[in-house]
Amino acid sequence: MQIGKRSIGPAFPPLIIAELGINHGGDLRVAKRMVELAAKSGAECIKHQTHFVDDEMTEDAKLIMPPNATKSIWDVISESALTPTAELELKRYAESLGLIYLSTPFSRKAVDFLDDAGVLAFKIGSGEADNIPFLRHVVSKGRPIIMSTGMQSIESLKESIGVLEDSGVEYALLECTNLYPSPPEHVSLKGIASLAENFPNAVVGFSDHSIGPEIALASVALGASIVERHFTDSKYRLGPDIACSMDPSELRYLVDKANLVFAALQSEKTRTMPEEDVYRFARGSVVSDRDLNPGDIIRESDIWVRRPGDGELKPSDFYKVIGRKVLKNISKNKQLSWSDFE
């Protein structure tokens, strides 16, 4: 898939998305500082959340307490949402630093706002992965979509993927576990292969809520073309997502090591050109294991394989030599050649 000038897929280095989310607590100054640090730490993409609470929730949400918060979801989002003007400024600032700016809309109003703002793609959260009317509204904008698939099964995703397929938009699916943080035993790295197998038209990636970089890096080795993780300028901030957020040093580590893993994924199982010099000394050649005389018939005990490997007879030739008649005097430990035998 293509987002702006960035090609995304197995043939390209993984796209690392630093998710700001609501970690800024509704403070544009803090949000811009986080974006600046993400850019300096090597991220190519920043991801925000766009909330219009009046179009996103009913009054009942004031009674719902998320497991990772001490306030109702209504209060958490109301206090953390940027104003439309502030979000447009954040988008402008991120793009001025060369970042791709994405955001997750949580309502029709947010979809329309982001579309009018000219985002290059939409990020759909796991909570909306089976919201068919919402997805139909998103795909009507014709922009690429990255969708997390937490709390879903392959079967429950099929109708949603049908909406994406029918629309013709390019899309990516991210394996995800919606626990903040996600214990390793509840993370499904197998889900990356399952998504790729069941939805072959999708670019596949991983939205990580675990602690530390290890599982995210493992996802790259398993084929994730996109890796998304929450990001903060400091882990000492308060907020429901801070526990599973990476700081600037961790983001830099993830970017660098993910690119190393990607580089190692590109090589087929073969002897590489740089290995040739090692190959010549690291393997052995067939040699005489005693003094040999003309007329001797080679037995297995007469020969062996020793380094270096620059002799004519390779280890694979060992048993081909047995039973041959020697034509000349050969001292012990001499590399053998086919011309030594009848």
The residue type of 334 is: K
User: How many angstroms separate the CA atoms of 5 and 248, rounded?
Assistant: 25
Is the residue at 4 inside a domain? no
**Percent of the chain predicted with pLDDT > 90:** 89
Q: How many domains does the chain have?
A: 2
What local confidence, expressed as pLDDT, does residue 280 receive?
A: 79
User: Which residue type occupies 191?
Assistant: G
Q: Which two tokens stand for residue 320?
A: 């081909």
Q: 223 and 147 in one domain?
A: yes
CA angle at residue 93 from 92 to 97, to 5 degrees? 115
Looking at the structure, do residues 199 and 329 belong to the same domain, yes or no? no
Residues 116 and 209 in one domain: yes
CA–CA separation, 172 and 127 (whole Å): 16
pLDDT at 254: 98
The first and second tokens of residue 317, run together, are: 């030739």
Range of 336's domain?
273-340
User: What is the spatial distance between Cα 93 and Cα 286, in angstroms, rounded to a whole number?
Assistant: 67
Q: How far apart are CA 229 and CA 218, in angstroms?
A: 14
Dihedral sign of CA atoms 178, 179, 184, 186 in order: negative
Q: What is the pLDDT of residue 285?
A: 96
CATH number at residue 318: 3.90.1210.10
Averaged in consecutive runs of 10 residues, what is the pLDDT profile of the chain (342 residues)? 97 97 95 98 97 93 84 89 97 98 98 98 97 98 98 97 98 96 95 98 97 96 97 92 94 98 92 84 94 98 95 96 97 97 96
Average of per-residue pLDDT values in the chain: 95
User: For the whole model, what pTM was predicted?
Assistant: 0.89
Q: For residues 282 and 309, is the Cβ–Cβ distance under 8 A?
A: yes
Q: What would the pLDDT profile of 225-238 be if each residue is shown by its tens digit?
A: 999 999 999 999 98
Q: Considering just the CA atoms, what is the radius of gyration of the chain in Å?
A: 29
Please give the pLDDT value at position 201: 97
Instruction: Please check whether residues 215 and 93 belong to one and the same domain.
Output: yes
Whether 204 and 252 map to the same domain: the answer is yes
The reported pLDDT for the residue numbered 69 is: 78
Backbone region of residue 98 per phi and psi (left: phi > 0; alpha: psi in -120 to 50; beta: other values): left
Query: SS3 of 255, please?
Result: helix
